[in-house]
Amino acid sequence: MLVSPLLRRPLPLAFLGAAASAVVASPAFANAGYDTTALVEAVTLEAVRAHQQEFQAFADASGGNRETSSDGYIDSVLYISRLMTDAGYDVDLQIFPYIYFENLSPAALAQTSPESVEYTVDDPEGFVSSTYSGSGDVTAVVTPVDLVLPPAAAANTSTSGCEAEDFADFPEGDIALVQRGNCAFGLKARNAQEAGAAGVIIFNEGQEGRLEAIGATLGEPGFTIPVVFASFAIGEALAAGGVQARLVVDSVTESRISANVIADSRVGRADRTRVIGAHLDSVPEGPGINDNGSGSAGILEVALQVAALVEAEEMRVDNRLRFAWWGAEEVGLLGSEYYVDNLTEEELAEIELNLNFDMIGSPNYVRFIYDGDGSATEPAGPEGSAFIEWLFRDWFDSQGLASKPTQFSGRSDYGPFIEVGIPAGGLFTGAEGIKTEEEAEIYGGEAGIAYDPCYHEACDTFENNSDQGLSEMLDAVANAVGVFARGSLPVSREKRDGARQASAEVETDYRGNLLAR
């Protein structure tokens, strides 16, 4: 392909001087002292929606989704790679292996005696098949394993199934009933399988906030028996004694490959690299045009407009901008994790911060900002994350728009960066969470329903979008990229590296909600 020279040509000294003299020093100025107007105005809703329309077309031609190994995903990768290459970025496709899991048909769980009760799959009051569950159709006695009923007041007090000794007298061929708490789901299921269980039902622990069935992963493949996660109510009913149940999971687990798209600007200091990322894949159930075609299309258009403005000598880039589209986020942040795990020490030291944009067009949106300083939620991000949060909040304040902190929960691709001590931040408009009355008063929309009612569903199509919300978030994204193209975090490199080292020495699992202890 022809490569535009726009990002390799140094800017004229006269322009650099003029740009430097235009800097405004006031810390109250929403762009942190840098004039980002040209980039904010250049990134349009119409252009971003056009990219999302392309993603929709790729999904339509690929069975309705852009799952990370599908033709729809590959088409999305090639589309972004072509546009970024033509814009003058150095583009790399980082191929990586991963384990694919899919339920081929709906799982089933029913009590068969002493009475017949069928439970509902994919229902918070029912049960959910666990990622990496084996296949099987089992009818057997349900044997409780070291349960705490009623549950203790504090969470993670149950050690049910965490030790092999918990299964010392377990009858081979029975279905093991284990309780959430204290250790990873995969360990509980592994211990049950090795003890001869024909299936495993993990149920929620029972405290407030830990009652419903949740999507749960076993963390790795290798399970040969069916495993599901059930609500506390179901677990309590099955723990009564003398209960027989039928458990069915029809699934496939196999090795596949996917790819990250990594695109570097050809100007800017390599030792002050900014990684601006969004995941590109969808779930198998739908095309993923909000989750996360919104973030992917948003950073794509920002990157293209950065290139155009640099070419027109209307924008200056002092720090290397690395735009990244992650694969396999929906199966466990695998693309971003692979990227971070394969950085050399030198490459890792070059990255000063990570910005993450996962879902920025939810139809019933709230303007969420990741809580970098941990003042409203825990945990706080690494040193420097507080400034990233402030930058987004200050932008919205300057526009007369409310915003709200949201937790670094480990559910998106900032997780691997935080885990190695890289400052992070970003924006989020909400997923399956329910909008409150207070939020509806502040942000509009409808209380009592999800921020994105089509989250992880077939209806996450081009129509599943708030133009107003997406437009507001795009302005904030463009402003942040414009600031960090020029400026640095107000944290010394020595202090930042010290915090990074301290973080690396602490065993912290920022994917804890995925492994869900």
* Residue-level pLDDT at 278: 98
Q: Spot the catalytic one: 67, 301, 329, 439.
A: 329
List, as one string, the DSSP characters of 189-253: HHHHHHTT-SEEEEE---STT--S----B-SSS---S-EEEE-HHHHHHHTTSS-EEEEEEEEEE
Domain spans in the chain, listed from the N-terminal domain onward: 5-89+265-416+462-503, 101-254
Is the pLDDT reported for residue 154 higher than 90? Answer: no
* Residue-level pLDDT at 33: 81
* Residue-level pLDDT at 331: 86
Which of the four pLDDT bands, split at 50, 70 and 90, describes residue 494?
low
Is the pLDDT reported for residue 219 higher than 80? Answer: yes
SS3 assignment for 275-323: EEEEECCCCCCCCCCCCCHHHHHHHHHHHHHHHHHHHCCCCCCCEEEEE
Mean pLDDT of all residues in the chain?
90
Q: What is the mean pLDDT of residues 145-162?
A: 91
The span from the CA of 492 to the CA of 512, in Å, is 30
* Residue-level pLDDT at 351: 97
SS3 assignment for 132-201: CCCCEEEEEEEEECCCCCCCCCCCCCCCCCCCHHHHCCCCCCCEEEEECCCCCHHHHHHHHHHCCCCEEE
Low-confidence winner among 98-112, 190-204, 349-363 (lowest mean pLDDT): 98-112
- Which amino acid appears at position 221 of this protein? P
Asked, colleague to colleague, whether 5-89+265-416+462-503 and 101-254 share their fold, the answer is no
Identify each DSSP E strand in 358-431 by its residue range: 368-370, 404-406, 424-428
Percent of the chain with pLDDT over 70: 89
Which of the four pLDDT bands, split at 50, 70 and 90, describes residue 345?
very high
Low-confidence winner among 166-170, 197-201, 211-215, 348-352 (lowest mean pLDDT): 211-215
Contact 441, 412 (CB under 8 A): no
Using alpha carbons, list the distances in angstroms from residue 450 to 434, 462, 468.
4, 18, 17
Q: Would you call 46 a catalytic residue per the annotation?
A: no
47-79 pLDDT, tens digit per residue, is 999 999 999 999 999 999 999 999 999 999 999
Is the pLDDT reported for residue 475 higher than 80? Answer: yes
pTM listed for this prediction: 0.80
Which of the four pLDDT bands, split at 50, 70 and 90, describes residue 492?
low
Which of the four pLDDT bands, split at 50, 70 and 90, describes residue 408?
very high
* Residue-level pLDDT at 32: 67
Which of the four pLDDT bands, split at 50, 70 and 90, describes residue 499?
low
Contact 361, 56 (CB under 8 A): no
Longest dimension (CA), the chain: 85
Choices 3.20.20.80, 3.40.630.10, 3.30.70.1340, 1.10.540.10: CATH for 5-89+265-416+462-503: 3.40.630.10
- Which amino acid appears at position 66 of this protein? R
CATH architecture of the domain with range 101-254: 3-Layer(bba) Sandwich (3.50)
418-468 pLDDT, tens digit per residue, is 999 999 999 999 999 999 999 999 999 999 999 999 999 999 999 999 999
Contact 249, 228 (CB under 8 A): yes
- Which amino acid appears at position 327 of this protein? G
362, 368, 370, 376: CA torsion to nearest 10: -140
**Which of 210, 153, 209, 138 is CA-nearest to residue 179?**
210
254-279 pLDDT, tens digit per residue, is 999 999 999 999 999 999 999 999 99
